[in-house]
Structure 1
Amino acid sequence: MSAIVVVDALWGDSGKGKTCAHLARRRNVTLNVRAGAGTNAGTTVVLDDGTQIKARQLPIGWTNPNTRVAVGSGTMVDPEILRAEIERFGLEGRAFVDGRCAVIEPAHIEAERADAHLATTVGSTCSGSGTARADFVLRRARQVRDLPELAPYVLDVAREANRVAARPDETLLVAGSQGTMLSLALSPDYPFTTSANCTAVAAMSDVGLNWRLVTDVVMVVKAMPSRVGEGPLPFELSAAEAIARGIAEYGVNTGRQRRKAERPDFDLLNYAAMLNGATQIALSFCDHYDPAMRGARGADAVTPRIRSLIGEVEAATGAPVTMLDTGPGLSDMIDL
């Protein structure tokens, strides 16, 4: 019996997708299910041959050839993006979506782009995910099961996720979206949040997963946290300094330069660990925090500066750091 939930501790863009891809390969995961608001968050993984994979709807665990992927019923679905990713990644027969997912319509996207509060004040990606969710709450949104063109991909994802997680020889991997501190009902920064909660429990709810089946919550902590859009960012660097240090990042959806911090806020990490019940920590972007870690793949290569950060993160979260992300490549990982 094994169900692993992967969540972001802070404001997203921490490498959850890479963490999921790594776990999918290491654990030979049976099923990787996407949770979260919708297509308002992207993920990027660089394969060992240099191929860059970017996705907004499907989780990235399919990079393990034995892993199927799916979208949980609590996640909004953009039919065009879903079909494009299935085709682009060659996932016919391996990718599924719960028929109860609400559909993101073109009108939802247009409404968000025309909303100055969302586009300017909040800094939304304007993917239509929030407006679709609002229609879903009001019970007037269409669902995936209403679209004949998506019929080949429809599955009761909740039933399949629980079936897989309950089997002694299989593993379920749930991919959370965005970050804990962007949670609609839990962030201290409202209205600078997303349109849903982004905790482990929220991810389980999006998938319909029985909590008794969860064996681990892997919380991804970015060594130099980043944030897209408005809202507080403790220990923030200037955009110019991030560029000068060669650690600037840009959003998958918008192309905007991400705001970047010098280090994590350990009080916020402590709060995130409490909310998520973290059992393991994946410490990501270690090479940005200490360039000497770039591309390291063995525990003997961990630098004193990163070992010091590991100690601080473990003290703040009460959970062990078990993975280190050391570069852009999928194999630039260290298991501790």
Structure 2
Amino acid sequence: MPAVVLVGAQWGDEGKGKITDYLAEKADLVVRYQGGSNAGHTVKVGEEEFKLHLVPSGILYPGKICIIGNGVVVDPQVLVAELEGLERRGIDTSGLRLSYRAHVILPYHKRLDEVEEERRGAGRLGTTRRGIGPAYVDKAARMGIRVIDLLDPEEFREKLAFNLKEKNELFIKVYGCSPYSLEEILEEYLGYAERLRPLVADTGRLINQALREGKKVLFEGAQGTLLDLDQGTYPYVTSSYPVAGGACIGAGVGPKAIDAVIGVVKAYTTRVGEGPFPSEAKDNASEYLRRRGAEYGTTTGRPRRCGWLDTVILRHAVEVNGLTGIALTKLDVLTGLDVVRICTGYQYGGEVLYDFPASLKVLQKCEPIYEELPGWQEDITQAHTLEELPPACRAYIRRVEELVGVPIKLIAVGPRRDQTIAVTNIFGQEG
């Protein structure tokens, strides 16, 4: 399968970084297609841990072409710092390519994110305040600044001056903030432009050429299905399209190019920020999962809300992404529990819902319907095949497949590359 899309099937933080890293070994290109530096992927290689925010996880393999696609909003300050951090640790970043169509996050986007979130008060969305939402707003309003503009000092000056005229007026008159200096932003960001110039390319053409040549391309999504702007728990969502269809728009390929879609599913459920969460654990299980799973945001360090696996949202993810397989992560975190729960439906008033509701008013009133399965006490972190897993663990896996209707193709039993069970082949991996 030359083209595989990897998506988060929950509220993000499913362990996509580890799965991307695992699959990248057999891929020729790894493409990030949406989001910004609000997303974070943690990858463990041996005893070393890498926290990536904009750079695709494939960068940790020498010789891979890693692409930041046109659908990503790029903070040049963050990207340059991330590249320098990787290089200090001996990672070769020469294979990175940045789309000249990608939009740029500027200082006023980050400030807008902060002041708008503060103004919402109790109705805040829980954004990471990295400027992602305001950058996408400008993109949709056709006043965004792209990487290609950043590389042209005259064009950048003209567009930045136009934008600052509006933004500064907003800061002064509405938010009571000091205005931004055109010259200060120009000086700083033109410096970033020169650092990034050698990496900028027509990435859509690179990807399509690779596909024509039969090369293997892995499309890496950020966040998760329930944070998708259209398909998620709106308005508690991100500002882009993490679902599989977003790969076509954000990378510049047609839908016929996609051969498979793998949904990354954590063996339990977490979410960061505000919004309804039907299967959120209300007892000691929440802290157990958070502690054993190290459930703190890669980018923000915020503790994640933890709960049981919710197959209602997974069936929704199967439909809107067209999932052909699942990568089940953090299964080892459930070890030690006497009982594991799976949410199979929602109780809403006098009816049972098996489909994910669009209304947050309805979702807030939904009570989870649980199915309980026996837990397991055995250490599974050294297992390399399904047969090496305890019977109760295998029963849990089979039940998830039955409830979701999609086969589980990869199972992560620990954070390292070698702690992965390949049930079936993806990208030619041997299972």
| Interval of TM-score (by shorter of Structure 1 and Structure 2) | over 0.9
Deviations 1:250-285 (A, max 9, x none): 0011111011112x2112211110111111110011
Q: Choose the corresponding residue for 1:286, options 326, 331, 355.
A: 331
d(CA) in 2 for partners of 1:185 and 1:51?
A: 37
SS in 2 for 1:84: helix
1:310 aligns with 2:397: yes
C-alpha deviation, 1:117, in angstroms: 5.3
- Tell me the number of residue pairs that the alignment of Structure 1 and Structure 2 aligns: 330
1:145 aligns with 2:148: yes
SS in 1 for 2:104: coil
Partner of 1:237: 281
1:191 aligns with 2:256: no
Q: Structure 1 vs Structure 2: percent identity of aligned residues?
A: 35
d(CA) in 2 for partners of 1:119 and 1:77?
A: 27
C-alpha deviation, 1:161, in angstroms: 1.1
1:155 aligns with 2:201: yes
Contact 1:70 1:157 (8 Å CA) reproduced: yes
C-alpha deviation, 1:312, in angstroms: 2.5
How does 1:109-258 map onto structure 2 within 5 Å?
A: 109-115=110-116, 116=118, 121-148=124-151, 149=193, 150-168=196-214, 170-187=215-232, 189-238=233-282, 241-244=285-288, 246-247=291-292, 248-258=294-304
1:84 aligns with 2:130: no
d(CA) in 1 for partners of 2:109 and 2:422?
A: 42
Equivalent position amino acid for 1:304 in 2:
P
- With over 3 angstroms needed to count, the CA separation of the structure-2 counterparts of 1:172 and 1:138, relative to structure 1, is same
Contact 1:37 1:130 (8 Å CA) reproduced: no
Partner of 2:101: 100
1:265 aligns with 2:310: yes
Contact 2:231 2:320 (8 Å CA) reproduced: no
Partner of 2:176: none
Contact 1:86 1:95 (8 Å CA) reproduced: no
The runs of 5 or more residues in structure 2 that have no matched partner are 152-192, 337-378, 424-431
Equivalent position amino acid for 2:239 in 1:
S
Partner of 1:41: 39
Partner of 2:162: none
Q: Choose the corresponding residue for 1:326, options 405, 413, 418.
A: 413
Structure 1 stretches of 4+ moved >4 Å: 117-120, 238-241
Which protein, 1 or 2, shows the higher relative CO under an 8 Å CA cutoff with sep ≥ 6? 1
Equivalent position amino acid for 1:216 in 2:
A
C-alpha deviation, 1:35, in angstroms: 1.6
C-alpha deviation, 1:236, in angstroms: 1.1
Partner of 2:59: 62
C-alpha deviation, 1:166, in angstroms: 2.4
d(CA) in 1 for partners of 2:251 and 2:143?
A: 21
Equivalent position amino acid for 2:130 in 1:
S
Contact 2:385 2:421 (8 Å CA) reproduced: yes
Partner of 1:13: 13
SS in 1 for 2:74: coil
Contact 2:229 2:239 (8 Å CA) reproduced: yes
- With over 3 angstroms needed to count, the CA separation of the structure-2 counterparts of 1:296 and 1:235, relative to structure 1, is same
- With over 3 angstroms needed to count, the CA separation of the structure-2 counterparts of 1:192 and 1:239, relative to structure 1, is farther
Between stretches 293-302 and 91-100, larger displacement belongs to 293-302
C-alpha deviation, 1:244, in angstroms: 4.3
Computed over aligned residues only, the root mean square deviation of the Cα atoms, in angstroms, reads 1.8
- With over 3 angstroms needed to count, the CA separation of the structure-2 counterparts of 1:275 and 1:77, relative to structure 1, is same
Contact 1:96 1:154 (8 Å CA) reproduced: yes
SS in 1 for 2:237: coil
Contact 1:99 1:155 (8 Å CA) reproduced: yes
SS in 1 for 2:18: helix
d(CA) in 2 for partners of 1:239 and 1:76?
A: 39
Equivalent position amino acid for 1:60 in 2:
S
Equivalent position amino acid for 2:256 in 1:
R
d(CA) in 1 for partners of 2:212 and 2:399?
A: 35
SS in 1 for 2:22: helix
Rg larger for: 2
Equivalent position amino acid for 2:422 in 1:
D
- With over 3 angstroms needed to count, the CA separation of the structure-2 counterparts of 1:175 and 1:117, relative to structure 1, is farther
d(CA) in 1 for partners of 2:213 and 2:393?
A: 37
Equivalent position amino acid for 1:271 in 2:
H
- With over 3 angstroms needed to count, the CA separation of the structure-2 counterparts of 1:239 and 1:327, relative to structure 1, is farther
- With over 3 angstroms needed to count, the CA separation of the structure-2 counterparts of 1:196 and 1:119, relative to structure 1, is farther
